[in-house]
Amino acid sequence: MMAEAYIRARNVSKVYQSGTSELVVFSGVDLDVYQGEMLALVGESGAGKSTLLHLLGGLDSPSDGTIYYGSKEISGLARSEQADFRNREIGFVWQIHYLLPEFTALENVMMPLLIRGWTHARSASESLSRLDEVGLRARSTHRAGELSGGEQQRVVLARALVGSPSVLLADEPTGNLDFRTGEMIFELLEGLHRSHQLTSVFVTHNMSFARRCDRVLNMEKGGLVPGGPNGSQPGSAPEYL
């Protein structure tokens, strides 16, 4: 059965002003991310991969063009509406964990649900379930500084998924980890992608991880082209059974 495009970027550009000059990161980018797909974005540093991911996540606005989730145009939402959309629909994983050091692992995972307006008890129960899923229930009362790098990133995964998002966006999720720990985190990402029926976009420099995704696109010269053995033309949908 052919999957449908859930995230669609149309003629998207990002330009930064620097005094009287302009820095064009990319221009006229079109991208379809298909429901249930695990897509890898690769390319040289500075090519615009992270910038594109921020635009797809509604963390920044394109200079031109539109971004849709289904039939909803998120690039045209007000800031408060974008924040609410992110909280409910998107899970984020970053290279730097951004855990709040004064709070425990459990309290860090609870944050998106408390922001949503859930009660403390309900937030704690759901967050413990996610920590259990990433193998850290026993470490729930430990603060970030008491956790290893791999454990911290697993807390980030739990936090990203606690609100039951439909989309997972990850920017170099294994970039600060050694190979063995990075392998464990990527295997966990693969398993969570399947078990939570996510649509996932990963920015990575690690081609061995990228090749394990359904599709690989390379960002170069301000555009997207097939990248690596799993690469396929932007706009051609992978098939899922």
Q: pTM for the full model? A: 0.90
* Cα–Cα dist 73/136, whole Å: 37
Calculate the average pLDDT of the chain. Answer: 90
Is the pLDDT at 99 greater than 70? The verdict is yes
SS3 string, 162-186, reads CCCCCEEEEECCCCCCCHHHHHHHH
User: Which pLDDT band, with edges at 50, 70 and 90, does 230 fall under?
Assistant: very low
Q: What is the mean pLDDT of residues 155-174?
A: 96
Strand ranges across the sheet with 72-73 = 21-34, 5-18, 64-69, 72-73
Across the range 45-74, mean pLDDT stands at 94
Instruction: Give 151's DSSP letter.
Output: H
Percent with pLDDT over 90 in the chain: 77
Strand partners for 217: 41, 226
Residue 20 pLDDT level (bands cut at 50, 70, 90) = confident
Confidence of residue 95 (pLDDT cuts 50, 70, 90): confident
In angstroms, the first-to-last Cα distance of the chain is 5
pLDDT at 96: 83
pLDDT of residue 53: 96
Domains and CATH numbers, the chain: 38-58+85-226 (3.40.50.300)
**CA 65 to each of CA 12, 41, 76, 164, 200: distance values in angstroms, whole numbers, following the listed order:** 4, 20, 10, 28, 22
**Could you tell me the pLDDT band of residue 228, with boundaries at 50, 70 and 90?**
low
Is residue 24 predicted with pLDDT exceeding 50?
yes
Tokens 């797809």 identify what position?
56
Q: Are 91 and 161 in contact (CB under 8 A)?
A: yes
Predicted confidence (pLDDT) at residue 227 exceeds the cutoff of 90: no
Q: Residue 157's pLDDT is what?
A: 97
Each residue's pLDDT tens digit, 57-67:
999 999 999 99
Closest C-alpha to 217, from 204, 228, 205, 206: 228
Number of residues written out for the chain: 241
Kindly indicate the confidence band of residue 222, based on its pLDDT and cuts at 50, 70 and 90. Answer: confident
